[in-house]
Amino acid sequence: MRLAWSHMASHSLPTLMSERRVVITGIGCITPLGNDLTTTWEGLKQGRSGIGTITHFDPSPFDCKIAGEVKNFDPDVHFAVAKDARRSDRYVQLAVAASKMAIEDSGVDVSAIDPRRFGVMVGSGIGGLATLEREHSTYLSKGPKRVSPFTIPMMISNIASGIISMEYGLRGPNMVIVTACATSNHNIGEAWRIIKFGDADAFVCGGAEAAILPMGLAGFGSMKALSTRNDDPQSASRPFDKNRDGFVMGEGAGVVVIEELEHARKRGATIYAELIGYGVSADAYHLSAPSPDGSGPAYAIAMALKHGKKNPEDVVYLNAHATSTGLGDVAETKAIKLAFGDHATHGLMVSSTKSMTGHMLGAAGGVELIACVMAIKDSVIPPTINVEEQDPECDLDVVPNIARELPVNVALSNSFGFGGHNASVLVSKFE
């Protein structure tokens, strides 16, 4: 029996055990729009698409031939020892690079803090698919003895967090949560919870993904989940548009440094925003499709608002999960209406930056939370591009095609994963 939203809403949501405040002090990202925060954020504000024809391999056998690839990325410069980069899967290379950027941006001197109080939670929805593909091919062509001894540690989804901790000597809580496309938000949210509980003072957290590979493209293609608008790649990712035909794969990493407020203050850190709420739920509905009534995400949103002590009308901007699929965009619209009531269509601005980056899978939530933080910092809401004929079932203010300049005090990021995993993260202007 499935619970209706009205039934769930009648139950009180949990309260936090701690009033420790958590702030965002460092940002690192690598996306199809650029290999740093500045380039990525400028691209999002300009409404620029990072989608193009696949160059990592020959896409001609596939129905979908387009993706949001990271370009001109040199992993060696981000590792303390260059050979360690070559012993890492591409998703790990992206994770380490974004983490390095976030740590440097935060200004934290890792040698001057208690390493047992500094944790790492940087996950991946799929893990080292490139390593698995390559070594399986080696096994088939050359036999088991030629398979690399680094195969297993290179492909597992937790190894990015392990390597980041080794690079910086961070001995605090170290783990990852793997929830497909909700991975980043769950890792950021649970890191927030651990700091609130008092078991750590700081975290490097977020997600990374590098699944633009033959097996990744074939798998999603067989599900009929991908856009085949190959002749016009930059308009292929079109969330909320009536003529959308599937999502576009992306790759990259989005990582933030979060800290307990007094820990950040003592070292004079620059604070981007405050992380104030986090909500989690499950659809308990289907392997890959969202629950059509939107009740699962609505509950996660309501939980994040309660933790953040905010009313629905306090939220100015919502960065939607909206991937550009028929079922998903409509279900999320219903969830937003359930959670926000009249505010959903009277004041709330909702955009999907996946229209520009493609769907970065396990990295999506990290990059999209960064978009929320930068919207607060710069008073700019990034648009949903490629909205030519808005789907009447997605009747929200989706900030079509052009960014808006206006103050943003509170913003929310949604991420949902195959298996019915829902995660919402709430951020506010720091006061």
CA 87 – CA 340 distance, rounded (Å): 47
**Alpha carbons 241 and 394: distance in angstroms, whole number:** 8
Give the pLDDT confidence score for residue 8 in this predicted structure: 40
Return left, alpha or beta for 252; rule: phi > 0 is left, psi -120 to 50 is alpha, else beta. left
Residues 28 and 176: their CA atoms lie apart, in Å, by 18
Q: What is the pLDDT of residue 288?
A: 87
Sign of the torsion formed by the C-alpha atoms of 264, 275, 176 and 11? positive
> Could you tell me the CA-to-CA distances from 375 to 180, 348, 351, 427 in Å, in that order?
25, 14, 12, 11
| Closest by Cα among 203, 207, 224, 27 to 106 | 27
For the whole model, what pTM was predicted?
0.95
pLDDT score at 390: 98
Taking each helix axis from N to C terminus, what angle separates 129-142 and 90-106, rounded to the nearest 10 degrees? 150
Q: Domains of the chain (ranges plus CATH)?
A: 23-266 (3.40.47.10), 277-420 (3.40.47.10)
User: Measured in whole angstroms, how far is the alpha carbon of residue 271 from the centre of its chain?
Assistant: 20
Catalytic option among 307, 359, 372, 394: 359
- Confidence at residue 3, expressed as pLDDT on a 0 to 100 scale: 39
**pLDDT for 17:** 53
Q: What is the phi-psi region of residue 386: left when phi exceeds 0, alpha when psi lies from -120 to 50, beta otherwise?
A: left
Q: What pLDDT, on a 0 to 100 scale, did the predictor assign at position 5?
A: 43
Catalytic residue among 181, 205, 372, 394: 181
Nearest to 220 by CA among 255, 246, 190, 189: 246
User: Residue 294, by phi and psi: left (phi above 0), alpha (psi -120 to 50) or beta?
Assistant: left
Nearest to 245 by CA among 393, 417, 391, 418: 391
Residue type, 378: D
Q: Is 29 a catalytic residue?
A: no
Token readout for 305 is 């608002």
Q: What is the pLDDT along the chain (431 residues), one digit of tens a residue?
A: 333 443 344 445 444 457 899 999 999 999 999 999 999 999 999 999 999 999 999 999 999 999 999 999 999 999 989 889 999 999 999 999 999 999 999 999 998 999 999 999 999 999 999 999 999 999 999 999 999 999 999 999 999 999 999 999 999 999 999 999 999 999 999 999 999 999 999 999 999 999 999 999 999 999 999 999 999 999 999 999 999 999 999 999 999 999 999 999 999 999 999 999 999 999 999 988 888 899 999 999 999 999 999 999 999 999 999 999 999 999 999 999 999 999 999 999 999 999 999 999 999 999 999 999 999 999 999 999 999 999 999 999 999 999 999 999 999 999 999 999 999 999 999 99
Active site residue 181: yes
Task: Supply the angle between the helices 159-168 and 90-106 in degrees, to the nearest 10.
Answer: 40
Q: Are strands 421-428 and 410-417 parallel, antiparallel or unpaired?
A: antiparallel
Instruction: Identify the active-site residue in 307, 321, 394, 421.
Output: 321
Helix (H) or strand (E) holding 303: helix 295-307
